[in-house]
Chain A
Amino acid sequence: DGEGARAVPLAGHVGFDSMPDQLVNKSVNHGFCFNILCVGETGLGKSTLMDTLFNTKFEGEPTQHNQPGVTLKSNTYELQESNVRLKLTVVNTVGFGDQINKEDSYKSIVEFIDAQFEAYLQEELKIKRTLHSYHDTRIHACLYFIAPTGHSLKSLDLVTMKKLDSKVNIIPIIAKSDAISKSELAKFKIKITSELVSNGVQIYQFPTDDESVAEINSTMNSHLPFAVVGSTEEVKIGNKMVKARQYPWGTVQVENENHCDFVKLREMLIRVNMEDLREQTHTRHYELYRRCKLEEMGFKDTDPDSKPFSLQETYEAKRNEFMGELQKKEEEMRQMFVQRVKEKEAELKEAEKELHEKFDRLKKLHQDEKKKVEEKKKSLDDELNMFKQKKTAAELLQNQAQQAGGSTTLKRDKERKK
């Protein structure tokens, strides 16, 4: 951004030309970090190639076939060459392509790559963050191992690379290329390249914008995909011990550029473009992931004409919206309960009402019955009274009759009555 800046001449040596050195010293003191992901079917020599590239034996458990899904296993190593410290992480796909249904082969890989982006994003968004000392686990380079069939890319390869090309720098390599003859190899490379192009797969291009490396990078781009051979075995050639694979018909020398592209790979991946791979990952792939993630969560920049985007306002707005949502949910649940309570209460009231009605009816029946009984009682009492009267009247008459004459009958009555 040289806006409004005028160029001025210097009257002597000021000394800011040491800035690149100051920066480099800082980086060297801090140490470097690089993460490689190796994708390829079992048996394509991924581990061997890593060992060969970094000239060491990385420990790893023997891989097995028939994995339930694709596992990713990563190992981190602290390497040092002269005064440069490198924290190298090598991630291997275990079981890639071994499944009967290969569709989910790339899913774990995509998820893994995204998970590293996510971890960085979370760190970047923290309020108290320590980006300076953060151990960057984002994948800087993905070496895609193509099986040396000599024909074409497998559909799994195309599908996987298509899924990965917007997330990681892909460097396709032909594995175990000593299985292919020179002429077949040339055709194979052309076929692969054209298939990648026709399927719109974006592989990593070695950068040509910097004059100091433009030429070599441009040449190397034309050699992709690199046909490699890996070996940690050493064979004596002449009076030197070199990394090689020995066959009855000859010895394949790993570092012989006529035999394979191993040296080219090493040059490009490590010696010339390692920093660019890291930079591209950060400024392109990570930014894309971040942008998509934020947009997914509803963040957006205001249009360039209006007031510039304010992080605070968006956070606040998001949070208010979010809290509002939660409160609404709470309120809804409460309302639902209030409704249920109302309904249940109405139900129970209805039941209560019915109960009372039932018993009111019974009560009424009772009362009717009672009334009847009382009436019966009354009529019986009346009868009894009448009878009593009748009896009394009759007895009176009899007494009168007896008193007039017939005391014997009275006696007899009396006796009979006894």
Chain B
Amino acid sequence: LYFSFDYKFKNLEGYVGFANLPNQVYRKSVKRGFEFTLMVVGESGLGKSTLINSLFLTDLYSPEYPGPSHRIKKTVQVEQSKVLVKEGGVQLLLTIVDTPGFGDAVDNSNCWQPVIDYIDSKFEDYLNAESRVNRRQMPDSRVQCCLYFIAPSGHGLKPLDIEFMKRLHEKVNIIPLIAKADTMTPEECQQFKRQIMKEIQEHKIKIYEFPETDDEEEMKMIRKIKDRLPLAVVGSNTIIEVNGKRVRGRQYPWGVAEVENGEHCDFTILRNMLIRTHMQDLKDVTNNVHYENYRSRKLAAVTYNGVDNNKNKGQLTKSPLAQMEEERREHVSKMKKMEQEMEQVFEMKVKEKLQKLRDSEAELQRRHEQMKKNLEAQHRELEEKRRQHEEEKANWEAQQRILEQQKLDASR
């Protein structure tokens, strides 16, 4: 098989039609509908529910469906409300996750744990759904943004704020907000913001960052927003008439703090950023960064269970199946080598033993030859001796016979 890939840059003359691709994507996305999961975290009484209602211009939290502050909880819970909203032909399934009881106890150590557990469990659900053999349309209930409400103390971050954000910043996009901004003057607010951002940097907390863009206009806007972080917001469920206009606001004897007035608070910036311009990016960062971190940590722990993870860090870019395949191949070559070695050792030992046997045999043979020789020598010696003796005997007997004869002759 021969595959070759060549890259070439082409300029097209005339009409082809793929410039229509964005429309195709648009059409399909509208048909599919959208979903978004937003988490709100903060102590009771910071106006979280009111802000949500203001953001989405709906009574998400109403007498029938009360917001978290109205629910009396002994321990921190994590609860979700799902609503379906439609606008301009676009359908959005909105899930609001709230944490009643957060930070309200006397001892708030570990009050972030239920939040972490919730986020992780949604990652887990997604991972499992993604890992099935039979995969269906995967509902995405992962938390895509966390609005963290900071109490307008004017001083700085509380230890709980710091602790929470440090533990969550690598799991979810955190957008810190100064709640009830209408309790501070612009100067106080400015100072407060600066202090908070300083502390965030000191503690190396990674809050949600706007993505870089080539568009000069957009970048200008983004830089403006960055200067105003963290956003100071005001929410309201009531509509008030101001100068003939009906606006959402909070009525005070000295005036009306308007929610959507950019000089009163940063609500509009938040709304535009969260909903109108960066909702998709929040989802993408959750999917491409936070979820992938969770997944790779989870899978690395499993696949290299018990094995020193540092040793295997370089192998994380391999899929587990490829990993197993490689291990199998390694094992095959290891076995081959082992077999060869064993074979060698075996041969050598056999050779040794055979050699020994042969030596033994040679030795025995030699000894046998030796003995045989000795024996033959003895035989010969004996034969010689006998021969001598026979000769001697014959001579002597002959002599004796002569003597006898002589004697006989003499006696006659």
Contacts and interface: CB of A to CB of B under 8 A. Distances in A.
Contacts of B317: 126-129
B276 A18 contact: yes
Contacts of A24: 22, 25-26, 29
B22 A71 contact: no
B86 to A, nearest CB: 7
B219 interface: no
A330 B335 contact: yes
Interface string B83-113: 1111111101100000000000000000000
B184 interface: no
A8 B320 CA distance: 45
B82 interface: yes
B299 A312 contact: yes
Contacts of A153: none
Interface string B70-91: 0000000000001111111110
B305 A387 contact: no
B135 A18 contact: no
Contact of B128 (A20, A266, A308): A308
B319 A124 contact: yes
Contact of B346 (A72, A341, A348, A413): A341
B-side binding surface: helix, strand, loop or mixed? helix
Interface stretch (A154-162, A189-197, A362-370): A362-370
Interface in B4-37: 4-22, 24-31, 34-36
A182 interface: no
B298 interface: yes
Given A111-B1, A315-B303, A337-B342, A77 B10 contact: yes
Given A15-B275, A16-B34, A213-B27, A55 B2 contact: no
A72 B1 contact: yes
Contact of A275 (B25, B90, B382): B25
Given A7-B86, A80-B12, A271-B17, A366 B57 contact: no
Interface string A304-319: 0000111110111011
Contacts of A237: none
A11 B58 CA distance: 6
Contact of B302 (A59, A115, A300, A315): A315
A370 B93 contact: no
Given A315-B303, A341-B346, A53 B16 contact: yes
Contacts of B303: 127, 315, 319
A396 interface: no
Given A13-B87, A17-B88, A122 B319 contact: yes
Contacts of B400: 394
Interface in A2-43: 2-28, 32, 34
B335 to A, nearest CB: 6
B406 interface: yes
A75 B132 contact: no
A32 B18 CA distance: 10
A79 B281 CA distance: 26
Nearest to A377: B382
Question: Ordered nearest first, which 9 A-B pairs have the shortest CB separation?
Answer: A17-B88, A125-B319, A311-B131, A271-B17, A275-B24, A22-B280, A5-B82, A15-B276, A1-B139
Given A1-B139, A22-B281, 12 more contacts: A6-B84, A8-B58, A13-B87, A17-B88, A22-B278, A32-B18, A54-B12, A127-B299, A127-B317, A311-B302, A322-B328, A348-B354
Interface of A: 1-28, 32, 34, 53-56, 58-59, 71-84, 86, 89, 108, 111-112, 115, 121-129, 132, 209-210, 212-213, 266-267, 270-276, 279, 287, 290-291, 294-295, 297, 299-301, 308-312, 314-316, 318-319, 322, 326, 329-330, 333-334, 337, 340-341, 344-345, 348, 351-352, 355, 359, 362-363, 366, 369-370, 373, 376-377, 380, 383-384, 387, 391, 394, 398, 406, 409, 413
